[in-house]
Structure 1
Amino acid sequence: MLQASLKPQDVLVLAKLITGHGRRPTMAQLAAELGLSSSQVHGSLKRLEKSRLIAAHADGGRPIVHAVEEFLIYGLKYVFPAQRGEVTRGIPTAHAAPPLNRHFPAGDDLPPVWPDPSGDVRGTSVDPLHKMVPVAVRKDPALYELLALIETLRDGRARERQLAERELATRLRRLLHG
C-alpha cells in the first residue's frame, strides 16, 4: 500500500476546515472558496484523513485538534519550509498580518508578503503554501489570520513563533469546545 504524502494544498484545505468552526462544507463549497478543483479537495480530504489530521468522513470529517496542533507547530516547517524571495508587492503575512501585527510594529525591515499583483504592500516575498492562498484569503478574513499564523510557524523568529503557537492553540481549543 502506498503511503499518502501530504501536499501543500492539504494544509490550505485543513485551515479552511478549522476556520469553519465545525461546519463541514461540501467539496464543491471548499473548492469554490479556495480556488481548487473538486478533485483536488477530494484528494486533500483523503490525505488528511489518512494522516489522522481529520476524522473519517463518516464521523463528520472534523479536524483532530491535538494532531493538527502538533503537526502545525512541530512538523510543518520541516515538511513545507518557507522560501523567501525578492522584494515585491503582495499581501502581508506572518508577523506583518493580523493577528500578530499588533505585537510587531512596522520597523525598517520590509514585511513578509505573499506575492500578489493586486497587493498593496511592498515587502519580501514568501512563497505561500499553495498558489491559491492569496485568492482564498481575500475572501475570508478568518482564513487569512490562520494562514498568517501558519506562515509564522514556517518562517518566523523565536518570539514570533511563540506568539503564533499560543494564538493557534487558543483558536484550536475554541474549535474543540465550540
Structure 2
Amino acid sequence: MLGPVDVYVLLKVATTHGKEGWLQSGLAHEIGVSPSVVNRALKEGEDLKLYHPSRKRINARTLQEALVHGARYFLAPKKGGEVRGVPTAWAAPPLLGEIFSASVLPYVWPDPEGEVRGLSVEPLHPSAPKAARRDPAFYELLALVDTLRLGGVRERALAEKALRDRMGMREGD
C-alpha cells in the first residue's frame, strides 16, 4: 500500500522530469532518507504502476490521479497546535496569495528554523522542511499534496490544476 514516504520519494522523482543520470543514493541524500527507503518506495511505485524503473520516471497521470482522489484518505493529515514552522498547503508556493483566510492561521510543518507561526501539520516525512529549503520545485509539490490532504473543494481544485501543470500534464490528461 502506498504510504507517505513512498509519495515523498515519488514527488522528488517527479522533480527530475526524467533526467538521465540521477542515482537512488543521491536522491536519498537530497531528501534526507536512506537509500534503502528510496529503493523500497520505488519498488512500491513500480508495483502500483506509478513509477517506470527503466525510464526512471513517474507515471504522472496515475500519480496525480491517486493523489487527487486519495490523499485525504491514505495520507490523512495529523494536525496539532500552534507552532513555528515552514508554511505548507495554500500558505506556500505555488498557491500562496491565491486563497485568503482572514481568521485562520496558516498550516506549517513544525521546524525550529521556520519563520512562520501557524497550525501544525505533520509533513509526509520529518525531513520535508529541510529538503524543501533545498529544492523549491519539490517544496511546491509537497505543499500541493498538503493542500489535497487539508483543503476544501476550492483549494483542492486549485491544487489539482497546479499539480497537473508541475507534472507536465496538459488539460484533459
Interval containing the TM-score (normalised by the shorter chain):
over 0.9
Contact 1:90 1:113 in 2 (8 A): yes
Cα distance in structure 2, aligned partners of 1:39 and 1:18: 19
Q: What is the TM-score normalised by the length of structure 2?
A: 0.92
Residues 21-60 of structure 1 aligned to structure 2 (within 5 Å): 21-24=17-20, 25-55=22-52, 57=53, 59-60=54-55
Which residue of the other structure, out of 155, 158, 169, is the alignment partner of 1:160? 155
> In structure 1, what residue type is equivalent to 2:4?
P
Contact 1:114 1:126 in 2 (8 A): yes
Which residue of the other structure, out of 162, 166, 170, is the alignment partner of 2:165? 170
Which structure 2 residue ranges, 5 or more long, are not aligned? none
> In structure 2, what residue type is equivalent to 1:29?
G
Cα distance in structure 2, aligned partners of 1:118 and 1:74: 33
2:106 is the counterpart of 1:111: yes
Which residue of the other structure, out of 12, 15, 19, is the alignment partner of 2:11? 15
Which residue of the other structure, out of 131, 141, 148, is the alignment partner of 2:136? 141
Cα distance in structure 1, aligned partners of 2:3 and 2:68: 17
TM superposition shift of 1:77: 1.5
> In structure 2, what residue type is equivalent to 1:26?
L
- Encode CA deviations 1:61-82: one digit per residue, 9 max, x unaligned: 3111211111110012211101
Contact 1:84 1:124 in 2 (8 A): yes
> In structure 2, what residue type is equivalent to 1:16?
K
* Greater helix fraction, Structure 1 or Structure 2: 1
Percent of matched pairs sharing the same residue: 46
Contact 1:85 1:125 in 2 (8 A): yes
Cα RMSD (Å): 1.4
> In structure 2, what residue type is equivalent to 1:122?
R
Residues 72-83 of structure 1 aligned to structure 2 (within 5 Å): 72-83=67-78
Cα distance in structure 2, aligned partners of 1:123 and 1:65: 31
Cα distance in structure 1, aligned partners of 2:66 and 2:78: 19
Equivalenced residue count is: 169
Which structure 1 residue ranges, 5 or more long, are not aligned? none
Q: What is the TM-score normalised by the length of structure 1?
A: 0.90
> In structure 2, what residue type is equivalent to 1:162?
A
